[in-house]
A and B are shown apart, each in its own frame.
Chain A
Amino acid sequence: MAVSRDDRPVTGTNRIRKFPTGANYAEVLQHPELCFRDPDLRHGTVQQSAVLGPKAISGNFASVFSITARDGQRYALKCFTRDTSAIGTRYTVISTALRALDTGSLSQPWPVRFEFLEQGVLVLGDWFPVLRMAWVRGTDLISWIDRHHHDPTAVHTLADRFLAMTGDLEDNGIAHGDLQHGNILVAEDGTLRLVDYDGMYVPALKGEVATENGHRNYQSPQRGAADFGPAMDRFSTWLIHLSLLAVATDPSLWNQLHEPQGEYLILSESDLRSPATSLAWPLLLGHSDQRLRTAAARVQGFLGQPCSTLPRLTADTLTSPTSRHKRKAGTTTPTTTGTTRGATDPATPHFGTLPAWMVDRMASATAAAVPTPPALAPTGFTGRRPRDLTAAAAALLSTAAPGVLSVTTGQPEGYLPAAQGAALLASAAVIGIGRRLRPEYRTAHQRIRELRRRARELKDPAGAHQRLEQEMQKLDDATAKEGAVADKRIRTLQTDLRVGLARITMELNRRTDQPHKRKAELSAREQNMIAAALEPAVRRHVEAKLRATSIQEARSLPNMGAKTVGALMRAGIRTAADFTGVSYSQSQGTGNRVAYFIHAGGHYIRVPGVGEARASALDAWRRSLEQRARTSAPAKLPGPALARIRAEIATLRARYDREIKQAESKAQQDRDVLQKRITDERQRLTADRQQRAMETQRKRADLLQRQKQLSGAEAERARMTGALSTARTETRRNLGVRKYLTFLLTGH
């Protein structure tokens, strides 16, 4: 049995050393003057939490505390809660490697200096190592993106900095081992700091093994301890870069894919492990931005590849040469990035909520592309349609009808003029309606309305400008609001899917639990059945053997004379088969124990002269005979009997297998249905979003154009008034009632 004492941390020569817990450290740090040897720390001030004393920031292997020395220098003190193999040696090697870096050649000051103190902190009488580092002021990656995802320029710049930092690592043969949001800090100037070097690889550690496998939401499913080496960051590097690129390209992706409080950027472990059921991949792989699509496909392709074979992330591996060129321009002059990016593809509608900078660019591009409506004068009616002919016929008929009626029905004379007047009115109306229904007339009128509106706008350009501004604001707000709702819905679909799949698994486990258990018991059950089937034959065999052993043979036992054997025979015990055991009872008189032989028939026999000692010797003799007989007993069932049992077991096994299989296929069906429902919903939402974004852009472009036309209002107004009166005259001249009548009759 494994027993161990664990009252307190054990030190000594054991390879394994139990380290204090986070709370142990938090307790001793209440008295820095007692637990530290280092003078800076001894006299330092430990940052406190509101309630629980020294404030810890904990990871899976350590808790970090903040201590400010008397000279104002603030330190991060890392206290280890798990013994990682040869922690001190590793840190010394890592420290040497980092100090050897030529800081001038680095893209940014990402390394954080640290000092490994072997006798760092005293806990329960033992010294434990600590890592003393300068406190890094910075924001972790998730908080930073939360704050900046609406600023694509900033996110792009960060992605470039990340690329540069990982480039520094690669150039020096270093790998961090646990690249993730918590270990990448963004300093105030926007450059990056890399913290937590527990799992770091430097060339001098070649041949060692990993102590950790990195954060589950950032690592390739293929990563294992053997991947400890210069290439171990490759997957997480690509993944983080893809995430930054995605957010920079389409900020709404952050809202759609990053769950608030989720410990990942936009892709999590389940997306990496089961891309087929992921909702995130389709959004990235089907994105309207080609560069993002390509990058996503690339990273998805890495999922099945061994980590060591992944390529290094470099600017050149990222994109095609042309778009890279544009990116470069953006990088060097961040202020113009928006322009460059926005102008790349104005014709392709973006499917996310458009970032402000992009809407502007796209709208003006669209506005410029749409020419001012040409001042085409209406040229007259062309092409009679059945409707026109119907109108003509109706007019003709209604004019003639009253006369015809009065003739045929004998109406009074006075009826005719009144009826004829009404009929004329009716035909005028029919012609009027016919004319108005003509597309030429409608176009001309719409144009007049439009011109009137513009004329009105031009009367008060400032007011109109403001009204348009408000309209645009309203449009933007509405779009943003709708977008946010859709984003949230897309995000919650991921939760729905996760929870739904979990429920299906739970149900599957419930249904297969029993059959699995029963199946596991089958081989034991088979053995029992065989044993039970053999039992009669074994009993007969043992019985025969015992029967064949005369009680005379018991004379070989010590203290067993002819007299005793004679008494046994007289009592009916002639062979070893004549009794099955011995029983004792306390004698009332003497207090001695009295022995009884249990006859094969079940009754008890007392044999004079056979006391406890002899009886138990005889019992043991009989039992050893039985034992021996059993070993020679038939051990194999006759073929047919064995086959029967095997068949029975096989039937049971098949039944359990069937039950399990049924449950599994039911679960698979349920999964497919759920997956389809969620995927359809996701597609619908995405399509709606895309549709709405296009609509908004169109409306916005329209409003922008109107706003643009307001400049130079005076000249425009004069032009507009002229255009308006021309349009009216033209319309009257070319599309008047007379023209229509002529058109109706002649077709010209």
Chain B
Amino acid sequence: MPYTAEISRTNPGCFVFLVDQSASMSDPMGTGEVTQQRAKVVSDAINRLLTELSVKCAKEEGVRDYFHVAVIGYGHNHVGSAFQGALAGRDLVPLSEVANNPARVESRTKKVPDGAGGLVETSVQFPVWMDPVINGGTPMTRAFGYADSLVANWVEAHPSSFPPIVLNLTDGESTDGDPTSAAIALASHATADGAVLLFNLHVSGSDGTPVTFPDSEEGLPDTYARLLFQMSSVLPSHMRSYAASQGHRVSETTRGFVYNADITSIVEFLDIGTRATELR
């Protein structure tokens, strides 16, 4: 059965994050009363995902190399590693190294509920591996090509592993042509355990209702969202179960696509060690 390979240090998994760094990402997007730049939303999402992965793979002795992780930015004239700090310029990095080498740890002020109905301002430590970058066009096709070669090599070296997961975070407006065929090529690489999973996080300025893991393109606000939906892989069955256990309505055609919403929960979809029963 595909997508059931053990994720372990001897049989690691692979994450490739693709981050849209084009000029359009400087547009604001509304999240309630706060308005944030899309690029900021996306870089925060990446930083949170990396923290999430690190915590998920932390054991007594430290973070284990259950995954190899790449963060690839794409914008004007540049497709390549978006890591900053010690990891700058590197593509696939073992997770323990990622966890130990954020570019910096920021202190962010945050208002948190005090449990008695009020809010209290406090500061939290927030590890940062990449800052928002905004520059030129959206060469999404080239970005998929870049991911393609990373993934092709990785799959060759890890034929029995859980297949790579590529997560593309974008506002959707590719400027170097229709990325569909590049996406199909990318998602056609496979280990013995199944084909590459391509997921998309679409951040948009249009005031659409956030959508998480839809099973059809009906109701998606624009053509970009629909295009990204079509490119996204169908969730494998155990991921569907997890999505369901988080309260999402799922079906056989549910895809790894999220519109204007949080995608950090995707990390929870990964089974490491003890297996949950398929459905509760």
Q: Give 10 closest A-B pairs by Cβ, nearest first.
A: A2-B249, A502-B160, A502-B159, A22-B55, A502-B192, A505-B192, A125-B113, A261-B9, A225-B277, A23-B52
Q: Which residues does chain A contribute within 8 Å of B33, judged by CB atoms?
A: none
Interface bits A493-531 vs B (CB < 8 Å: 1, else 0): 001001101110110011000000000000000000000
Residue of chain A at shortest CB distance from B64: A261
Residues from chain B with a CB closer than 8 A to the CB of A5 are 209-210, 212, 261
Q: Which of A48-56, A95-103, A314-322, A714-722 contacts B (4 or more CB under 8 A)?
A: A48-56
Is B276's CB under 8 angstroms from A22's CB?
no
B133 near A: Cβ within 8 Å? no
Question: Is B149 interfacial (CB-CB < 8 Å)?
Answer: no
User: A2, B114: Cβ atoms under 8 Å?
Assistant: no
Find chain A residues with CB under 8 A from B191 CB.
502, 506
From B113, B273, B276, contact of A124 by CB (8 A): B113
In the assembly, what is the distance between CA of A28 and CA of B112, in Å?
9
B274 contacts A509, C-beta separation under 8 Å: no
Task: Specify which chain B residues have a CB less than 8 angstroms from the CB of A263 in the assembled complex.
Answer: 6, 8-10, 273
Interface residues of A in 52-78 (CB under 8 A from B): 52-53, 55-61, 63
Interface hub of A17, A60, A219 (most chain B Cβ within 10 A): A60
Question: In the complex the two chains form, is A60's CB within 8 Å of B262's CB?
Answer: no
CB distance from B132 to the nearest CB of A (A): 20
Any A CB within 8 A of the CB of B124: yes
**B153 to chain A: closest CB distance in Å?**
14
Per a CB cutoff under 8 Å, which of B58, B192, B212, B271 touches A58?
Answer: B58
Q: CB-CB < 8 A to B100: which residues of A?
A: 50-51
A14's contact among B60, B114, B115, B247, by CB below 8 Å, is which? B247
Write the nearest CB–CB distance from A276 to chain B, whole angstroms.
18
Residue A452 at the chain B interface, CB threshold 8 Å: no
Question: Which residues of chain A come closer than 8 Å to B114, judged between CB atoms?
Answer: 34
CA distance A720 to B101 in the complex (A): 73
**Contact between A58 and B56 (Cβ–Cβ < 8 Å)?**
yes
Stretch at the interface among A149-157, A210-218, A419-427: A210-218
- A109 to B125 Cα, complex, angstroms: 39
B127 at the A interface (CB under 8 A):
yes
Contact of A23 with B55 at beta-carbon distance under 8 Å, contacts A6-B212, A16-B246, A31-B122 already known: yes
27 intermolecular pairs with C-beta atoms under 8 Å apart: A2-B214, A2-B215, A2-B248, A2-B249, A4-B212, A5-B212, A6-B262, A18-B247, A21-B55, A22-B55, A22-B56, A27-B124, A31-B112, A31-B124, A34-B112, A50-B100, A59-B273, A60-B271, A85-B280, A124-B112, A180-B273, A182-B273, A216-B6, A259-B10, A501-B192, A503-B192, A505-B192
Within 8 A of B (CB), among A246-300: 259, 261-263, 268-269
* Total count of chain B residues near the partner, CB < 8 A: 70
Beta-carbon contact of A211 and B280 below 8 Å: yes
Q: Which of B193, B274, B277 contacts A59 (CB 8 A)?
A: B274
**Residue pair A506, B56 in contact (C-beta under 8 Å):** no
Interchain CB contact under 8 A, B115 and A82: no
Which of B193, B272, B277 is the one whose CB lies under 8 Å from A213?
B277
Asked if B251 is at the interface (CB within 8 A of a chain A CB), the reply is yes
Complex CA gap A82/B209 in Å reads 26
List A contacts of B112 (CB < 8 A).
28, 31, 34, 124-125
Q: Is B265 an interface residue (CB 8 A)?
A: yes
Q: Within the complex, what minimum Cβ distance (angstroms) separates A316 from chain B?
A: 31
B 199-246 contacts with A by CB, 8 A: 209-216, 218-219, 242, 244-246
Q: Which residues of B contact A50 (CB under 8 A)?
A: 62, 100
A368 to chain B, nearest CB (A): 46
Q: State whether the Cβ of B267 lies closer than 8 Å to any Cβ in chain A.
A: yes
User: Which residue on A lies nearest to B8, using beta carbons?
Assistant: A263
Contacts of A37 in B (CB 8 A): 115
Residues in B with CB closer than 8 Å to A52 are: 51, 54-55, 58, 99, 102, 127
Q: In the docked arrangement, what's the CA distance between A14 and B247, Å? A: 9
Size of interface on A: residues with Cβ below 8 Å to B: 78
Tell me the nearest residue of chain A to B259, going by C-beta.
A3
Give Cα A49 to B211, complex, Å: 35
| CB-defined contacts of A194 to chain B, threshold 8 Å | none
Which chain A residue has the least Cβ–Cβ distance from B119? Answer: A125
Asked whether A6 lies within 8 Å of B246 as measured between CB atoms, the reply is: yes
Q: Which residues of A contact B6 (CB under 8 A)?
A: 216-217, 263, 268-269
Question: Which of chain B's residues have a CB closer than 8 A to the CB of A211?
Answer: 276-277, 280
A717 to B249, CA, bound (A): 93
Question: Are B272 and A57 interface neighbours, CB within 8 A?
Answer: no
Whether the Cβ atoms of A210 and B277 lie closer than 8 Å is yes
Tell me how far the C-beta of A341 lies from the nearest C-beta in chain B, rounded to whole angstroms: 32
B219 & A180 in contact (Cβ 8 Å cutoff)? no
Residues of A within 8 A of B48 (CB): 23
Q: Does A1 contact B218, Cβ atoms closer than 8 Å?
A: yes
Partner of A216, one of B56, B251, B265, B275: B275
A479 at the interface (CB under 8 A from B): no
Instruction: Indicate if B250 sits at the interface (CB-CB under 8 A).
Output: yes
- A53 to B10: give the CA distance in the assembly, Å: 27
- A6→B265 contact, CB < 8 A: yes
User: How many angstroms between the C-alpha atoms of A505 and B8 in the bound complex?
Assistant: 20
B105 CB–A CB distance under 8 Å: yes
B250 and A49 form a contact (CB under 8 A):
no
Assembled-state Cα–Cα distance A52/B47 (Å):
12
Assuming A7-B210, A199-B274, what are 20 further A-B pairs, CB within 8 angstroms? A5-B209, A6-B265, A21-B55, A23-B264, A25-B55, A26-B55, A30-B125, A49-B62, A51-B102, A51-B105, A56-B55, A63-B58, A124-B113, A213-B275, A213-B277, A261-B8, A263-B6, A498-B160, A502-B191, A506-B190
Shortest C-beta distance, A600 to chain B (Å), equals: 39
Cβ < 8 Å to B, chain A residues 327-353: none
**In the assembled complex, A654 has its CB within 8 A of some CB on chain B:** no
Q: Which of A55, A498, A501, A509 contacts B190 (CB 8 A)?
A: A509
A58 and B57 contacting across the interface, CB-CB below 8 Å: yes
Q: Are A214 and B113 in contact (CB under 8 A)?
A: no
Whether the pair A23, B212 counts as a contact (CB closer than 8 A) is no
Chain A residues whose CB sits within 8 angstroms of the CB of B122 once the complex forms: 31, 34
Q: In this assembly, does A163 line the interface, its C-beta being within 8 Å of a C-beta of chain B?
A: no
